[in-house]
Structure 1
Amino acid sequence: MIAEANVINLGAQRQSPLIYSTDPLRRSPTAMMLQAQKLMANVAEDALPVATSKFVGWTFSEKPETGTAISAVRVSWPANSYTATWSAQEKRWLLSHGDSANLAASGVRLGPTTFVIQLVSITDSIYRDKVGGVTPFSETIGTGKGFILRDGLAISANWSRPTGEQGTTWKTEAGDEIKFAAGQVWIALTDKTPIFTPVAIANNEDATPPSAK
Structure 2
Amino acid sequence: MTGERGARRPGRVLTALLCALTAAGLYGCSDPGPPPQPRPTPTTAPATPTGLSPFTGLPAKPAPVLTVKIDNVPAARPHTGLGAADLVYVEQVEGGVTRLLAVYSSHLPDLTGPVRSARESDIALLADYGRPVLAYSGAQSALTPLLRAAPLDLVTETTAPRAFLRSPDRPAPHNLYLRPDRALAAAPRADDARDIGLRFGPAPPGGTPVTTSTVRYPAARYAFTWSAADHAWRVAMDGREARATDTGPLAPKTVVVQHVTIRPSRFHDRFGSVSPYSETVGSGTALVLRDGRAHEARWSRPSAGSGTTFTTPAGAPLPFAPGQTWIVLAPRA
The TM-score bracket by the shorter chain reads: 0.7 to 0.9
Under a length normalisation based on structure 1, what TM-score does the superposition of the two structures give?
A: 0.77
**Does 1:82 pair with 2:222?**
yes
**Does 1:178 pair with 2:318?**
yes
Counterpart of 2:241 in structure 1 is 101
**Structure whose residues are more often helix by fraction:** 2
Counterpart of 2:149 in structure 1 is 4
Distance 1:14 1:136 in 2: 27
Which consecutive unaligned segments of at least 5 residues does structure 2 have?
Answer: 1-145
Counting only pairs closer than 5 Å after superposition, residues 1-213 of structure 1 correspond to structure 2 as 1-16=146-161, 19=164, 31=174, 34-35=177-178, 38-44=179-185, 46=186, 48-106=188-246, 108-193=248-333
Contact 2:155 2:187 in 1 (8 A): no
Question: How large is the Cα RMSD of the aligned pairs?
Answer: 2.6
Distance 1:131 1:20 in 2: 27
Kindly provide the amino acid, as one letter, of the partner of residue 56 in structure 1.
Answer: I
Identity of aligned residues (%): 32
Q: Over alpha carbons, which structure has the higher Rg?
A: 2
Q: Structure 1, residues 77-111: CA drift from partner, whole Å, max 9, x if none?
A: 11211110000110000001111111001251002
Seen in structure 2, the aligned counterparts of structure 1 residues 76 and 17 have a Cα distance that, compared at 3 Å, is farther
Cα distance, 1:67 vs. partner? Answer: 0.3
Q: Runs of at least 4 residues of structure 1 off by over 6 A? A: none
Contact 1:141 1:162 in 2 (8 A): yes
Cα distance, 1:134 vs. partner? Answer: 2.7
Which consecutive unaligned segments of at least 5 residues does structure 1 have?
Answer: 194-213
Distance 1:189 1:28 in 2: 27
Cα distance, 1:34 vs. partner? Answer: 4.0
Q: How many residues align?
A: 187
Distance 2:269 2:162 in 1: 19
Q: Which moved more, 1:7-16 or 1:126-135?
A: 7-16
Seen in structure 2, the aligned counterparts of structure 1 residues 47 and 140 have a Cα distance that, compared at 3 Å, is closer
